[in-house]
Amino acid sequence: MELYAYPRTLRDILGLNRRYIIPRFQREYSWGEDELTALWNDILSNLKNESKNLIESEYFIGSIVLVGDDTADTKFLIVDGQQRLTTITIFFSALSEIFKDIGNFALMKSSHKYVESENDDGEKFLKLENESPKPFFQFRIQQLDKDDSFSPKSDEENALMYAYNFFKEKLQMANLIKEIKRKYKIGEIDYVELLKTLRNQVLSFKTIYITVKDEDDAYLIFETLNAKGKDLESIDLIKNLIFKKIRTSAAGDFAKESWRSIRNILFSKENKVSMSQFYRHYWLSKYSFTRDAGLYEDFKKRVPDSSYKDFLIELNEAAKVYVQLSNPQVTDWKQVEDRVVFETIFALRTFEVSQPRPLLMALLEKRSQKNGIKFDDFKRVIIAMEKFHFIFTAIASSRASNIESRYSTFARQLRSAVNKQQAKVVIDEIIKYYKDNLPSYDIFEDKFISLYYSKKVTSNKRIIQYILKNIEKYYLETEELTTDIISIEHIMSESTEDENIGRIGNLLPLDKSLNSLIGDVEFSKKVELYKKSKLVTVNNFIKEHHLAEAWEPDDILKRSKDLATLAYNHVWKIK
């Protein structure tokens, strides 16, 4: 490997008419507030205060590794330093926009030359090229005349936009002068001179500029530099390895387009999905239970080079299923029998639990196979899953050290089942696991009766709506009627400000219009108005309490405990 290293400043690097290209195997831009703040602090902290005048000083910001011949080439691939060079580019883009805003067009142009330049033929080009967020990055951030019609549509584009806005805000006159005065105790400050000083400080940053001539060496360096996973996640290293083996061809860049497709699928829903989380759940579902740090080595061990294309195809299909699990939409489950699937997935989202997704991925794949799984078994296990996590996660807030590994094991056992009978054996084992690991009733009751909802305390609103809806569904016994739209009525009015008003024993499901009609009246009148409701839960309450003259805190506590018993022993009992 031919490797050359030189000391360089950012002025040396960005001042030349060179293109710096982010290669296909690189990770997406991911700097957030912490990294941006650290860089901003480096810029300000390295200014020298000499006789109340701020001047720049040298500061080492790490190495930059490139593929190219420093003596001949004008295009270089960035192997290491992509995040820093991208952020510096964004800084200069924001700085040039600030100069434009204050009407200093000469400084605008001189700052923007570190973002965009032109060749000997007068043709303009961007010094940093990145295909991944194209055209958003180029049109919304890099070019001088920014196109505000471009809005971010991916995690990477959101991060790029956040970084640009971060520097724009920091460089605003009032913000910048206030921060500099606080830091350096300087009186009068010339805003334009201060902006020029910050520009010069960034250009004075020093780096070790390392070049290699062969792209194969670039992949190796990328992996070596990040082998300990300090900066990169396993998914970035896996991407690098796949891209190294699947090269571009005359037909196109299969790896790049496949990866882009997976990313777009995961970001296509209202709730954006992390590529790392999706990949790990897919791996747990199909290959093995592996901690985050071991995913890269496990991938190399289990997936042969010859299968990389097939692996990407499978990953693409799995992403389509995963977004349905992470952000369920009723339109994704159009068949009548799919209603139970949607309700379970939606419930798990309400519980904020993602651990079952590897098993759900395996269940859905098995269900799609002709001889994979009986629908009754499929329905039985997902209902049990919902009931278990309602008690275990949503109410008891329990932790189980082995639950993730068990889900991985169950998922892989299910995938290995060659017929419906074998699949049923696995499902029976899953349901037994749920029953064996349920928290005790005493733990459940204690947490259940502590649930609270009022206008001032709303954190439990979604879970209480879920409880009231499913208790009503239990009473109905059939699915002819639905209770998707209910409001929560406080039997003892909130105006009493009693400490028990938000407890679940004081809450009833009601139609929204009926609830607003009732208002703040005495208990006996409320009971009469409740008779307008068609809900079984409300009618049962009327039958039990219609002779009572008042509704007291002791009644709330008793009903809370009665509901806990009903929930644990009947509504959410795993069969």
Each residue's pLDDT tens digit, 501-525: 999 999 999 988 888 888 778 898 8
DSSP character at residue 246: S
**Angstrom distance (rounded) from CA 74 to CA 45:** 33
CA distances from 40 to 15, 17, 171, 220, 400 (A): 21, 26, 10, 31, 42
Predicted local confidence at residue 30, as pLDDT:
85
Output the six-digit token pair for 207: 């780096």
pLDDT band at 246 (very low <50, low <70, confident <90, very high): confident
**What would the two tokens of residue 180 be?**
């500099």
Same domain, 62 and 18: yes
The predicted pLDDT at position 228 comes to: 44
Nearest CA to 380 among 574, 188, 222? 574
pLDDT at position 355 is: 94
Q: What is the mean pLDDT of residues 287-307?
A: 91
Lowest mean pLDDT among 21-30, 165-174, 200-209, 380-389: 21-30
Each residue's pLDDT tens digit, 75-100: 898 888 889 999 999 999 999 999 99
Instruction: Supply the Cα-derived Rg of the chain in whole angstroms.
Output: 30
Of all residues in the chain, the percent with pLDDT exceeding 70 is 94
Among the three residues 424, 439, 454, which one is the final residue of a domain in this structure?
439
Confidence tier at 35 by pLDDT (50, 70, 90): very high
Euclidean distance between CA atoms 89 and 377, whole angstroms: 56
Specify whether 482 is located in the same domain as 555: yes
For the chain, the domain total comes to 4
- The residue among 176, 197, 225 that closes a domain is 225
Q: Are 429 and 521 members of one domain?
A: no
CA distances from 251 to 247, 255, 313 (A): 11, 12, 17
Q: Which of 225, 249, 266 is the last residue of a domain?
A: 225
Higher-confidence residue of 1 and 185: namely 185
Using the predicted structure, report yes or no on whether residue 485 has a pLDDT greater than 70: no
The whole domain housing 321 covers 233-327
What are the angstrom distances between the C-alpha of 446 and each of 146, 490, 533? 58, 21, 30
Asked whether the predicted pLDDT for residue 383 surpasses 70, the reply is yes
Please write the tens of the pLDDT for every residue from 219-228: 676 666 655 4
| Cα 193 to the center of its chain, rounded Å | 41
Mean pLDDT of 176-184: 91
Output the six-digit token pair for 567.
């929930």
Say whether pLDDT at 46 is over 70: yes
Structure tokens at 361: 């991925």
Q: 125: Cβ–Cβ under 8 A, 6 or more apart, which residues?
A: 19, 116, 117, 118, 119
pLDDT value at residue 223? 65
Is the domain of 382 the same as that of 502?
no
Same domain, 118 and 246: no
125 and 78 in a common domain: yes
- For residue 493, which phi and psi values (nearest 5 degrees)? -60, 145
pLDDT tens digits for 438-465? Answer: 999 999 999 999 999 998 999 999 999 9
Residues 332 and 270 in one domain: no
Q: Write b or e for each residue in 530-554: b if 16 or more Cβ atoms lie within 10 A of its Cβ, otherwise e.
A: beebebbbbeebbeeeeeeeebebe
Same domain, 175 and 118: yes
Q: Could you tell me the pLDDT band of residue 543, with boundaries at 50, 70 and 90?
A: very high
- As given in the structure block, the two tokens for residue 411 are 């998922």
pLDDT digits 0-9 by tens, 97-116: 999 999 999 999 999 999 99
Whether residue 172 sits in one domain with residue 41: yes
Contact 406, 399 (CB under 8 A): no
Whether residue 67 contacts residue 22, with contact meaning beta carbons closer than 8 Å, is answered with: no
Mean pLDDT, all residues of the chain? 89
pLDDT, position 209: 85
The answer to whether residues 287 and 333 belong to one domain is no
pLDDT computed for residue 245 by the predictor: 85
> What's the whole-model pTM score?
0.72
Same domain, 238 and 321: yes
- Residues 203, 246 share a domain: no
pLDDT grade for 218, boundaries at 50, 70 and 90: low
